[in-house]
Structure 1
């Protein structure tokens, strides 16, 4: 039987402070998923990006901290990374293996960087990946809006290839059924 974890990637003070696409709805979605996971005894795992000295995501600075709207509870694991993949040199894969976790519910920032990379690496490692619609976000860039980027990755890149992209309420229903 599959064991599931909810991954919350790079939802950090400095990034949220730059006001990504659908900021308020995104944070509300993450809070909803966190509550459902915790109520269903699904492990919650956070990943933080360390951008290095002088970066807005420099380790041990205010901007590096997980955003206060979705703070970890005592005992919830946090893995730190310094590349787009949540797996590379973080110990995350080893931890998931040790815990017998083979299904990941993937959420966080940024859709087109760390979420996309982590999704594809998780797929390559054989994890079943679920991405709740609207549970990732990013910023406008000189080529595309944040809205178009999220829609493009959810509908064209991930769904049916690397992950199952489904509405949040369906993900929560899956969490509840796992707990029963």
Structure 2
């Protein structure tokens, strides 16, 4: 039987290291992700954390403190982790092989940053044939000059919901309902 997996993209300490520029709704997003992680554990749903290595001098440089998965996600030592260096969590990683080994056909996506790694991974997952569910209130980004973070999140929920992903709030996601959608 095919099943769902929860993917937590780039929710790392370094993303919350700028008190003058916090992620949009950051603490609430962390709370919603932690709730999804807890529910995934309760239902034995595969759970994979993705970590981005931004390279030398970047806030997410491996192995600096910013590299670590944010503890507010519910991450536990020993959880499955995929390391990446590109916005696409599949590019040059073993994510697809891990999902195949787990017989996963549906991905529930959460994380950071909405317009980069969440968007790119969502589109790639769709193109690889996965059913994708985007937790509409469990991904976030930073405000940009001329474009607030909440607008970026809403825009991507709208765009990705038009063909790439099913859009649901974190509270409405029940992992077992996605088994064998294909």
Give the conservation status (yes or no) of the 8 Å contact 1:40–1:178.
Answer: no
Structure (1/2) with the larger helix percentage: 1
Q: Distance in 1 between matches of 2:11 and 2:81?
A: 12
Matches within 5 A, 1:19-38: 19-38=22-41
Q: Which runs of 5 or more residues in structure 1 are unaligned?
A: none
Give the conservation status (yes or no) of the 8 Å contact 1:36–1:176.
Answer: no
TM-score (norm 2): 0.92
User: Paired residue for 1:7?
Assistant: 7
Matches within 5 A, 1:4-153: 4-18=4-18, 19-153=22-156
CA RMSD of aligned residues (A): 1.5
Equivalent pairs, count: 176
Secondary structure (helix, strand or coil) at the match of 2:137 reads coil
The correspondence for 2:166, drawn from 124, 140, 164, is 164
* Higher mean C-alpha deviation, range 159-168 or range 84-93: 159-168
**1:28/1:71 CA distance change after superposition, 3 Å:** closer
